[in-house]
Amino acid sequence: MPVSDALGWLHGTPATPSNVFTSTSTDYSDYELDFGATVAGTSSPYLPAFPSRTEAAYTSPPEVPGPGGIQMGVHVVIGAAIVPGSCTAGVVNVLSAATSSATAIIATRTLTLAQLAVAGSHYFIPMNIATLLEFLRLNFIGTNAAVTSGTAVAWFGPICGGEQ
């Protein structure tokens, strides 16, 4: 699992937020994280990399984290308020795959126009870490149409409080 106090930027940075919802199908995040190739854990030191080949196919974690577990996911913060044009909502898909240019959706969240209109709004998309393979990126999909303008930043990391 990644270091929980590090930020893994997926889209833009605080200094340069990036445009979002510019397409109804292919608006991918600026960056794709690479967690490293999976290993079976069959050779010394017999510790599987993240995630192990066994756990990667699970639909739920093999154990339930207790109160000390850290919820991981994707954070999206609206930079410049989204001007919808003909767009009716924004869908953020979290994508993962064993190869680069991930397209398999492992988590998703729909944001309303009211949510997208508030600069500084912070949204969290929780993820089942067992579904995360080597690569991770996002897709910002405008519903019905692309937006006129607006920016956001996004990163992968632990829940930190204050998110919606």
Which residue, chain included where needed, has tokens 């898909």? 93
Question: What domains, with CATH codes, occur in the chain?
Answer: 19-59+71-158 (2.60.120.1110)
Q: How, if at all, do strands 135-142 and 122-126 pair?
A: unpaired
- pTM of the entire structure? 0.80
pLDDT at 56: 54
110 contact partners, CB below 8 Å, separation of at least 6: 89, 90, 91, 92, 143
Per-residue confidence (pLDDT) for residue 138, from 0 to 100: 96
Tell me: the pLDDT tens digits for 64-120? 554 556 788 999 999 999 999 999 999 999 999 989 999 999 999 999 999 999 999
**Per 3-state DSSP, what percentage of the chain is helix, strand, and coil (rounded to 5)?**
5, 35, 60
In whole angstroms, give the CA distance from residue 144 to residue 140: 13
- CB of 161 closer than 8 Å to CB of 104: no
For residues 84 and 121, is the Cβ–Cβ distance under 8 A? Answer: no
